Amino acid sequence: MAATVIDGKALAAKCKARVAKEVESLSRRPGLAVIIVGDNQASRTYINSKRKDCDECGIYSEEYALPADAGQAALMEIIESLNGRPDIDGILCQLPLPEGYDEEAVLLAIDPDKDVDGFHPINVGRLSTGQPCFAPCTPAGVMEMLKEYGVDPKGKECVVVGRSNIVGKPMGMLLLAAHGTVTICHSRTKDLGEVCRRADILVAAVGKRNIITADMVKEGAVVIDVAMNRNEAGKLCGDVDYPAVAEKASLITPVPGGVGPMTRAMLMVNTLEAARRHGC
């Protein structure tokens, strides 16, 4: 039996509608500032989508577009200014930054209580110790999808393929917090297929097209494809060999239309939460 397709677009719309309704009850509109440096087209497309999401949710948004050669000092000055503004609840600096910028210094400069991307070490530490925090939007979106489709990680074998700070590691921590038994795989994992075949919940977040094939997936597993790659024809695709894996999985996310929309929706959720923390 073919897998049920997890509709990320529909769930994202549902999340944003909930945010919009809750924003109406606040004393002021939440504010999100987005910084983009350089002319990366993928980043520009993503920023435009975020602006649209803010409009749908009733969130005030500001954009700061800097040329690639603006320099670290100019970027840090903007962040410092935004940290001090009471009308800005969330600050997002679009990554990757052009060559020559210190990304770590930029992430450290953002006030942790305005770090709606969930990348600041303080939020990472809070996440790892089970404290209230802003979780990175992509893993948080995956957890929301599992919840919506009735998948409880408790007691299940959960395998995350990928160990990035943005997705793989926080994904593992969120699944662990939900009482899953978690294995994180990476480029040096021996016999990746054997490990993946143990998974009740398999999350692919490598960025390598078709790295997850049908023979690596247990019958009835839940398969979450986080990656965004392009095939030879330029078409978006993920890490999972979707047609073949969909014949074995019980639930599967498409690319596009799966995790991507939920990542953006969770940014809106985090911005709402930041506004609440700031007394809205």
Q: Catalytic residue numbers?
A: 50, 94, 117
Nearest 5°: the CA angle 89, 95, 96 is 165
Backbone angles phi, psi at 133, to 5 degrees: -165, 175
Instruction: Give yes or no for a contact between 265 and 53, defined as CB atoms under 8 angstroms apart.
Output: yes
Count of C-beta atoms within a 10 Å radius of residue 100: 9
The Cβ of residue 154 has, within 10 Å, a number of other Cβ atoms equal to: 8
CB 260 within 8 A of CB 232: no
Cβ neighbours for 263, distance < 8 A, ≥ 6 positions apart: 137, 138, 141
Residue 212 DSSP one-character state: B
Cβ atoms of 38 and 9 within 8 Å: the answer is no
236, 229 contact by CB (below 8 A): yes
Round to whole Å and give the CA distance between 231 and 220: 27
Q: Which residues partner with 157 through β-bridges?
A: 181
